Amino acid sequence: MNKNDFSKRNGGKMKFISWNIDSINAAVEHKSVRGVMTWEVLQQIALEKPDVLAIQETKLKATGLTKKQETALDELFPNYYRYLRMSTGRSGYSGTMMLTRHEPISVTMPEIGAPGEMDIEGRIITLEFENNYVSTVYTPNSGSGLARLEDRQAWDDAYRAYVQTLDATKPVIFSGDFNVAHQEIDLKNPKSNHKKAGFTNEEREHFSQLLDAGFTDIFRYLHPDQAGVYTWWAQISKTSKINNSGWRIDYYLTSNRLADQVSELSVIDTGARQDHAPIKLEMTDGFRL
Protein backbone atom coordinates (compact mmCIF):
# COMPACT_ATOMS: atom_id res chain seq x y z
CA MET A 1 0.00 0.00 0.00
CA ASN A 2 1.31 3.45 -0.90
CA LYS A 3 1.81 5.35 2.34
CA ASN A 4 -0.37 8.23 1.10
CA ASP A 5 -3.33 6.08 -0.02
CA PHE A 6 -4.85 5.77 3.44
CA SER A 7 -4.78 9.48 4.28
CA LYS A 8 -6.42 10.20 0.94
CA ARG A 9 -9.31 7.96 1.98
CA ASN A 10 -9.56 10.08 5.13
CA GLY A 11 -10.28 13.12 2.98
CA GLY A 12 -6.62 14.08 2.67
CA LYS A 13 -6.19 14.75 6.39
CA MET A 14 -4.02 12.65 8.64
CA LYS A 15 -5.63 11.49 11.86
CA PHE A 16 -4.04 10.50 15.17
CA ILE A 17 -5.77 8.95 18.21
CA SER A 18 -4.39 8.46 21.71
CA TRP A 19 -6.02 6.55 24.59
CA ASN A 20 -5.23 5.21 28.03
CA ILE A 21 -7.13 1.94 27.65
CA ASP A 22 -6.54 0.63 31.20
CA SER A 23 -5.95 -3.01 30.14
CA ILE A 24 -5.89 -4.52 26.67
CA ASN A 25 -6.97 -7.83 28.17
CA ALA A 26 -10.12 -6.38 29.76
CA ALA A 27 -11.09 -4.97 26.36
CA VAL A 28 -10.41 -8.16 24.39
CA GLU A 29 -12.09 -10.45 26.92
CA HIS A 30 -14.99 -7.98 27.49
CA LYS A 31 -16.59 -10.18 30.12
CA SER A 32 -17.48 -7.44 32.61
CA VAL A 33 -19.83 -4.53 31.95
CA ARG A 34 -16.87 -2.17 31.92
CA GLY A 35 -14.91 -4.54 29.71
CA VAL A 36 -17.74 -4.52 27.18
CA MET A 37 -17.71 -0.71 27.18
CA THR A 38 -13.94 -0.69 26.70
CA TRP A 39 -14.23 -3.10 23.77
CA GLU A 40 -16.93 -0.93 22.19
CA VAL A 41 -14.68 2.13 22.43
CA LEU A 42 -11.82 0.20 20.81
CA GLN A 43 -14.17 -0.84 17.99
CA GLN A 44 -15.21 2.80 17.61
CA ILE A 45 -11.56 3.82 17.29
CA ALA A 46 -11.01 1.15 14.63
CA LEU A 47 -13.85 2.64 12.59
CA GLU A 48 -12.07 5.99 12.71
CA LYS A 49 -9.14 4.38 10.86
CA PRO A 50 -6.44 6.57 12.42
CA ASP A 51 -3.10 6.93 10.70
CA VAL A 52 -1.41 6.42 14.07
CA LEU A 53 -2.98 5.04 17.25
CA ALA A 54 -1.18 5.41 20.58
CA ILE A 55 -2.33 3.37 23.58
CA GLN A 56 -1.19 3.71 27.18
CA GLU A 57 -1.59 1.45 30.21
CA THR A 58 -1.87 -1.75 28.21
CA LYS A 59 -1.11 -3.80 31.34
CA LEU A 60 0.36 -6.60 29.23
CA LYS A 61 2.54 -9.29 30.72
CA ALA A 62 6.26 -9.03 30.02
CA THR A 63 5.78 -11.73 27.36
CA GLY A 64 3.53 -9.42 25.33
CA LEU A 65 0.22 -10.13 23.64
CA THR A 66 -1.53 -13.46 23.97
CA LYS A 67 -2.65 -15.17 20.77
CA LYS A 68 -6.24 -14.10 21.44
CA GLN A 69 -5.23 -10.48 21.99
CA GLU A 70 -3.05 -10.54 18.88
CA THR A 71 -5.88 -11.94 16.74
CA ALA A 72 -8.38 -9.38 18.05
CA LEU A 73 -6.07 -6.47 17.26
CA ASP A 74 -5.22 -7.89 13.83
CA GLU A 75 -8.92 -8.07 13.01
CA LEU A 76 -9.67 -4.57 14.27
CA PHE A 77 -6.58 -2.95 12.76
CA PRO A 78 -5.57 -4.89 9.63
CA ASN A 79 -2.50 -3.69 7.73
CA TYR A 80 -1.16 -1.73 10.70
CA TYR A 81 2.42 -1.93 11.93
CA ARG A 82 2.29 -2.62 15.68
CA TYR A 83 4.89 -1.83 18.34
CA LEU A 84 4.71 -2.86 21.99
CA ARG A 85 6.60 -1.93 25.09
CA MET A 86 5.89 -3.89 28.24
CA SER A 87 7.00 -3.31 31.80
CA THR A 88 9.98 -5.53 32.57
CA GLY A 89 9.74 -4.68 36.25
CA ARG A 90 6.25 -5.44 37.46
CA SER A 91 4.49 -7.66 34.90
CA GLY A 92 0.98 -6.61 33.90
CA TYR A 93 1.66 -3.00 34.87
CA SER A 94 1.83 0.19 32.81
CA GLY A 95 2.93 -0.44 29.20
CA THR A 96 2.39 1.31 25.87
CA MET A 97 1.53 0.37 22.29
CA MET A 98 1.57 2.16 18.94
CA LEU A 99 -0.16 1.11 15.73
CA THR A 100 0.55 2.89 12.46
CA ARG A 101 -0.50 2.62 8.83
CA HIS A 102 2.85 4.03 7.77
CA GLU A 103 6.06 2.10 8.29
CA PRO A 104 8.45 4.18 10.40
CA ILE A 105 12.10 4.73 9.60
CA SER A 106 12.97 3.66 13.14
CA VAL A 107 11.34 2.72 16.43
CA THR A 108 12.88 3.51 19.81
CA MET A 109 11.97 2.48 23.35
CA PRO A 110 14.11 5.01 25.20
CA GLU A 111 15.42 5.01 28.71
CA ILE A 112 15.59 8.63 29.83
CA GLY A 113 17.45 8.35 33.12
CA ALA A 114 14.32 8.40 35.26
CA PRO A 115 14.50 7.32 38.91
CA GLY A 116 13.60 3.97 40.37
CA GLU A 117 11.96 1.52 38.00
CA MET A 118 10.28 4.18 35.84
CA ASP A 119 12.56 3.47 32.88
CA ILE A 120 11.60 -0.21 32.82
CA GLU A 121 7.86 0.30 33.15
CA GLY A 122 7.26 0.52 29.39
CA ARG A 123 6.26 4.16 29.37
CA ILE A 124 7.57 5.61 26.07
CA ILE A 125 7.56 4.56 22.42
CA THR A 126 8.82 6.83 19.64
CA LEU A 127 8.35 6.35 15.91
CA GLU A 128 10.54 8.23 13.47
CA PHE A 129 9.13 9.17 10.06
CA GLU A 130 10.61 11.14 7.18
CA ASN A 131 9.51 14.55 8.42
CA ASN A 132 8.46 14.08 12.05
CA TYR A 133 8.63 12.00 15.20
CA VAL A 134 5.43 10.58 16.69
CA SER A 135 5.74 9.49 20.31
CA THR A 136 3.54 8.38 23.17
CA VAL A 137 4.04 8.52 26.91
CA TYR A 138 2.39 7.19 30.04
CA THR A 139 3.60 9.58 32.72
CA PRO A 140 4.01 8.13 36.24
CA ASN A 141 1.35 9.08 38.76
CA SER A 142 2.56 10.87 41.89
CA GLY A 143 0.69 8.28 43.92
CA SER A 144 -1.34 8.08 47.06
CA GLY A 145 -0.22 10.69 49.55
CA LEU A 146 2.13 12.04 46.86
CA ALA A 147 4.61 9.29 47.77
CA ARG A 148 6.10 9.42 44.29
CA LEU A 149 6.00 13.20 43.76
CA GLU A 150 9.75 13.71 44.07
CA ASP A 151 10.46 10.94 41.58
CA ARG A 152 7.71 12.27 39.35
CA GLN A 153 9.43 15.66 39.16
CA ALA A 154 12.68 13.94 38.19
CA TRP A 155 10.75 12.07 35.49
CA ASP A 156 9.29 15.34 34.18
CA ASP A 157 12.76 16.89 33.92
CA ALA A 158 14.19 13.84 32.15
CA TYR A 159 11.23 13.55 29.81
CA ARG A 160 11.40 17.22 28.85
CA ALA A 161 15.08 16.82 27.99
CA TYR A 162 14.27 13.74 25.91
CA VAL A 163 11.61 15.39 23.73
CA GLN A 164 13.88 18.39 23.30
CA THR A 165 16.52 16.10 21.79
CA LEU A 166 13.92 14.81 19.33
CA ASP A 167 12.74 18.32 18.51
CA ALA A 168 16.30 19.40 17.74
CA THR A 169 16.27 16.90 14.84
CA LYS A 170 12.65 16.87 13.62
CA PRO A 171 9.30 18.24 14.79
CA VAL A 172 7.50 16.04 17.31
CA ILE A 173 3.87 15.00 17.78
CA PHE A 174 3.52 13.38 21.18
CA SER A 175 0.53 12.23 23.15
CA GLY A 176 -0.53 10.32 26.18
CA ASP A 177 -1.72 10.33 29.75
CA PHE A 178 0.42 13.06 31.33
CA ASN A 179 -1.26 12.66 34.74
CA VAL A 180 -1.61 16.41 35.29
CA ALA A 181 -4.35 18.97 34.82
CA HIS A 182 -2.35 22.02 33.82
CA GLN A 183 -4.69 24.89 34.70
CA GLU A 184 -7.78 25.37 36.81
CA ILE A 185 -9.88 25.33 33.64
CA ASP A 186 -8.68 21.76 33.06
CA LEU A 187 -10.64 20.16 35.90
CA LYS A 188 -14.11 20.55 37.36
CA ASN A 189 -13.12 21.12 41.00
CA PRO A 190 -9.73 22.82 41.18
CA LYS A 191 -10.05 24.14 44.71
CA SER A 192 -10.90 20.83 46.38
CA ASN A 193 -8.25 18.99 44.33
CA HIS A 194 -5.42 21.46 44.82
CA LYS A 195 -2.26 19.70 46.06
CA LYS A 196 -3.64 16.26 45.19
CA ALA A 197 -1.85 13.98 42.72
CA GLY A 198 -2.31 15.41 39.24
CA PHE A 199 -2.93 18.96 40.43
CA THR A 200 0.00 19.87 42.63
CA ASN A 201 1.90 23.08 42.09
CA GLU A 202 5.00 21.03 41.26
CA GLU A 203 3.34 18.94 38.53
CA ARG A 204 1.66 21.95 36.97
CA GLU A 205 4.90 23.94 36.97
CA HIS A 206 6.75 21.09 35.28
CA PHE A 207 4.09 20.91 32.60
CA SER A 208 4.53 24.65 32.07
CA GLN A 209 8.26 24.06 31.70
CA LEU A 210 7.55 21.43 29.05
CA LEU A 211 5.48 23.90 27.05
CA ASP A 212 8.08 26.63 27.53
CA ALA A 213 10.69 24.28 26.05
CA GLY A 214 9.07 24.71 22.63
CA PHE A 215 5.87 22.67 22.64
CA THR A 216 2.16 23.41 22.29
CA ASP A 217 -0.84 21.97 24.15
CA ILE A 218 -2.96 21.60 21.03
CA PHE A 219 -6.39 21.56 22.67
CA ARG A 220 -5.69 24.74 24.59
CA TYR A 221 -4.09 26.32 21.49
CA LEU A 222 -7.29 25.70 19.52
CA HIS A 223 -9.73 26.32 22.36
CA PRO A 224 -8.02 28.74 24.77
CA ASP A 225 -11.07 29.50 26.92
CA GLN A 226 -13.22 26.39 26.57
CA ALA A 227 -14.15 24.91 29.93
CA GLY A 228 -15.88 21.63 30.72
CA VAL A 229 -13.87 19.48 28.29
CA TYR A 230 -12.24 16.60 30.15
CA THR A 231 -10.56 13.29 29.30
CA TRP A 232 -10.79 11.42 32.62
CA TRP A 233 -13.53 10.80 35.17
CA ALA A 234 -12.81 8.95 38.40
CA GLN A 235 -14.22 5.42 38.59
CA ILE A 236 -14.43 5.66 42.36
CA SER A 237 -17.28 8.19 42.03
CA LYS A 238 -20.44 6.75 40.48
CA THR A 239 -21.60 10.21 39.39
CA SER A 240 -18.35 11.67 38.04
CA LYS A 241 -19.34 11.14 34.40
CA ILE A 242 -22.98 12.05 34.96
CA ASN A 243 -21.95 15.34 36.57
CA ASN A 244 -18.99 15.82 34.22
CA SER A 245 -16.70 16.09 37.23
CA GLY A 246 -13.64 15.37 35.18
CA TRP A 247 -10.01 16.26 34.53
CA ARG A 248 -8.18 16.98 31.28
CA ILE A 249 -5.00 14.96 31.77
CA ASP A 250 -4.59 13.39 28.31
CA TYR A 251 -2.92 15.57 25.71
CA TYR A 252 -1.62 15.92 22.21
CA LEU A 253 1.40 18.19 22.19
CA THR A 254 3.44 19.22 19.17
CA SER A 255 6.57 21.17 18.46
CA ASN A 256 5.51 24.81 18.21
CA ARG A 257 6.28 24.88 14.50
CA LEU A 258 3.62 22.20 13.84
CA ALA A 259 0.77 23.85 15.74
CA ASP A 260 -0.62 25.74 12.77
CA GLN A 261 -0.83 22.46 10.81
CA VAL A 262 -3.45 21.06 13.21
CA SER A 263 -7.10 21.42 12.23
CA GLU A 264 -8.82 19.95 15.31
CA LEU A 265 -8.39 18.19 18.64
CA SER A 266 -11.44 16.46 20.08
CA VAL A 267 -12.39 14.00 22.81
CA ILE A 268 -14.09 10.83 21.59
CA ASP A 269 -17.40 10.15 23.36
CA THR A 270 -17.25 7.02 25.53
CA GLY A 271 -20.82 7.16 26.79
CA ALA A 272 -21.22 5.95 30.37
CA ARG A 273 -17.68 4.55 30.57
CA GLN A 274 -15.63 6.33 33.22
CA ASP A 275 -11.83 6.55 33.41
CA HIS A 276 -10.00 7.88 30.30
CA ALA A 277 -11.52 8.84 26.96
CA PRO A 278 -9.56 8.78 23.69
CA ILE A 279 -8.46 12.03 22.09
CA LYS A 280 -8.28 12.63 18.34
CA LEU A 281 -5.90 14.95 16.51
CA GLU A 282 -6.58 15.91 12.90
CA MET A 283 -3.99 17.63 10.74
CA THR A 284 -4.60 20.07 7.90
CA ASP A 285 -4.59 19.04 4.25
CA GLY A 286 -1.13 18.44 2.96
CA PHE A 287 0.48 17.36 6.24
CA ARG A 288 2.57 14.23 5.80
CA LEU A 289 4.60 12.20 8.22
**Residue with the larger pLDDT of the pair 238 and 97:** 97
At 193-220, the pLDDT tens digits run 999 999 999 999 999 999 999 999 999 9
The answer to whether the annotation marks 20 as part of a ligand binding site is yes
The answer to whether the annotation marks 57 as part of a ligand binding site is yes
- d(Cα 172, Cα 132) in Å, to the nearest integer? 6
At 147-200, the pLDDT tens digits run 999 999 999 999 999 999 999 999 999 999 999 999 999 999 999 999 999 999
42, 68 in Cβ contact below 8 A?
no
Q: Which residues are catalytic?
A: 138, 177, 276
User: Rounded mean pLDDT of 226-237?
Assistant: 95
- d(Cα 128, Cα 117) in Å, to the nearest integer? 25
The amino acid that residue 28 corresponds to is V
Instruction: Give the strand order in the sheet containing 275-276.
Output: 246-247, 232-233, 275-276
- Residue 104 is classified by DSSP as -
At 16-40, the pLDDT tens digits run 999 999 999 999 999 999 999 999 9
The answer to whether the annotation marks 177 as part of a ligand binding site is yes
Query: Rounded to the nearest 10 degrees, what angle do helices 201-212 and 149-167 cross at?
Result: 10
What domains are defined for the chain? 15-283 (3.60.10.10)
- Residue 27 is classified by DSSP as H
In which band, very low, low, confident or very high, does the pLDDT at 5 lie, cut at 50, 70 and 90? Answer: very low
Reduce the DSSP state of residue 6 to 3 states and report it. helix
Strand 52-56 with 15-20, pairing: parallel
